[in-house]
Amino acid sequence: MNTQKIAAITGSRRGIGLAIAQTLAEKGWFVILSGTSPAEENEGLLAEFRAKGQACDYIPCRIQCAQERGAFIETILARCGRLDLLVNNAGTAPPMRLDILETTEENYDFVMNANCKGTFFLCQQAANAMLSLQKSLVDYHPRIVNISSISAYTASVNRGEYCISKAGISMITQLFAARLAADGIPVFEVRPGIIETDMTAGVKDKYLSLIDGGLTPVPRMGQPKDVADCVAAAASGALDFAVGQVLNADGGFHLRRL
């Protein structure tokens, strides 16, 4: 039976998810990367980890697909025999950025099926697997971390579906934190702010201008590593009594100031 701690990070081929995987691998975790592309297309990515002596694997998963969610957890257990940490990072923006007076049901369903439904049921499947593993593993302390966004409480009327989905992830975290706390499975939410990734590249100048104008107390864009460090803190066990806690990786954006 594998005794190395296993961390599965969805949406981890790039950006925030990749930084989370890299940070956990540096701390000795066996990391399972995941994305929508097949495994054979990610051998180069795995080779970069292995070149540093870091243990890793890749399992594809479209989180909006029930069959693939089930296969994801089953494959982890078959290959590794355990799952110590699930990081729900995978998500999507709407195919078209449309005002809420113009958006479509297709836009809405596309985002909600991945971000909200996918996260909810992957939490469910991981939690049930962790509860089962508690019966057979010694010194086993599993955790779940969900990645949301400041969009959970910050209105963007031209991508309302995304905001609703991130608010949903916040409630998903609270629900599973409440349900699993007595079973010794802490659940946390990490809430990124304005992070410099491929997703924000097209509006980087706008964000930099806002930050220069005082939008965030910390006067810079966040980096994926800033989010990854919050995940690592939650995964470490140091925050277990703060079950359900929201870690705001946002440079202080959430602070109300006059």
Pick from 146, 137, 239, 131: nearest CA to 185: 131
Q: Directed axis angle between helix 119-133 and helix 160-180, to 10°?
A: 20
How does strand 6-9 pair with strand 56-58? unpaired
Report the alpha-carbon distance of residue 20 to residue 24 in Å, rounded: 6
Tokens of 19: 């930084």
Of the candidates 58, 140, 153, 162, the residue annotated as catalytic is: 162
Cα 159 to Cα 68, 78, 108, 197, 230: the distances in Å are: 27, 39, 9, 18, 26
Q: Is the distance from CB of 5 to CB of 85 less than 8 angstroms?
A: yes
Report the alpha-carbon distance of residue 200 to residue 80 in Å, rounded: 35
Taking the CB of residue 213, how many other CB atoms lie within 10 A of it? Answer: 9
**153 carries an active-site annotation:** no
Report the alpha-carbon distance of residue 165 to residue 91 in Å, rounded: 9
Report the alpha-carbon distance of residue 83 to residue 74 in Å, rounded: 10
Tokens of 181: 């706390």
Question: Which residues are within 8 A (CB) of 178 and not within 5 positions of it... i.e. 6 or more apart?
Answer: 244
Catalytic positions, written as ranges: 162
